Amino acid sequence: MEKYLFFSTGADGDATAEQAMYPASRFLGVEPLSATTTGIYFESAINDTDNDASAMAGDLITVTHADTHATAGSYHRSKLIAREISRAINARYAHTDGFITVMDKDNGVYLGEIDKIKADTSFGLAITLDT
């Protein structure tokens, strides 16, 4: 059974790019974009490569969070996000209905340790869809 990853920005989900759900098979990866942002990448649902090297070829979820990478005994928030997404995708027993809420600001639901990030003063997420 395919698993699906769900994200909601906290803007009530009544407009484009406020909520998104992706098949786990379209998950590409996670990377730190800056000290306070992490990118979560998915293959575009429209399979558009844009034919433009300057344009994004896929969808991007940008998570804004605290700068913790330089704190002793800590690491960049991207590691925590990547670990939780990986655990959920690879779990055999959890999420048996295939629906995995990764971040839902509208309802205050966060996957595993991602719940710790919601307390960051700057916490937020934005969904950028490939067009």
pLDDT, position 31: 94
* Res 72: pLDDT: 61
Residue appearing with tokens 């306070």: 36
* Beta bridge pairs of residue 40: 30, 61
Query: How confident is the chain (131 residues) per 10-residue block, as mean pLDDT?
Result: 92 87 95 94 73 64 88 80 94 76 94 92 90 69
Give pLDDT, residue 11.
85
Domain ranges of the chain: 4-128
- Quote the distance between the C-alpha of residue 28 and its chain's center: 11
Backbone Cα Rg of the chain: 15
- Positive or negative, the Cα torsion across 92, 110, 117, 13? positive
Q: Are 17 and 127 in contact (CB under 8 A)?
A: yes
**CB 62, CB 81: distance < 8 Å:** no
